[in-house]
Amino acid sequence: MPRGIKRVIDIERQVDEISELTDNELRAMAADTTARVESLRQRWEATGDLHALIGALIFFQLRLPEWLFSGLMRKLNEQFKNPHATRYLAVRHAHDAPGMSMDESYDWASQHITDQAAKGGRDTMMRSYQRIRAQVAKIDRIQPRSRARRRRG
């Protein structure tokens, strides 16, 4: 089984060497990759940062079929251009992570979004959240709750 190779170029000595990686170099590379992916995972879970998700996707690019990787990258990049999705993710984060009420989540999102295209007031956050939530509900086949049930729970 091929272990991996490294190329060392020393211009002063005019050396161009190719050699196998040592066990320690392989372990160090594996540990570095694991730490970076874990950092991206934590950032994604804590903030919903799409950059962290894209970073992890790039780490695993070679393990994915080309069509899957390019499709996911295209869709994620589209999300950067969608202010409604940014607002939705901010509201979801505020509601899920710290456990705020929906009203508090709208206020939090309106105060903490830094993307100029997605900034807005509480009502803007609420409209965008409801717009994206309706799309998510269709994908997940979520049935809307009746008004009476919404007031109780």
pLDDT band at 92 (very low <50, low <70, confident <90, very high): confident
Reported pTM: 0.46
The whole-angstrom separation of Cα 111 and Cα 120 is 8
Q: Find all residues with CB under 8 Å of 102, minimum gap 6, and list them.
A: 91, 95
The pLDDT, as a whole number, for residue 148 is: 61
Average pLDDT value for residue range 78-96 = 84
The predicted-structure confidence for 41-76, as pLDDT tens digits, reads as follows 998 888 777 778 888 888 888 899 999 989 988 888
Average per-residue pLDDT in the chain? Answer: 82
Which residues fall within 8 angstroms of residue 117, CB to CB, at 6 or more apart?
A: 81, 83, 86
- For the chain, give every domain's residue range: 21-66, 82-153
Higher pLDDT: 147 or 133? It is 133
pLDDT digits (tens, 9 = 90+) for 104-118: 999 999 999 888 888
Question: Which residue, 119, 126, 123, is CA-closest to 95?
Answer: 126
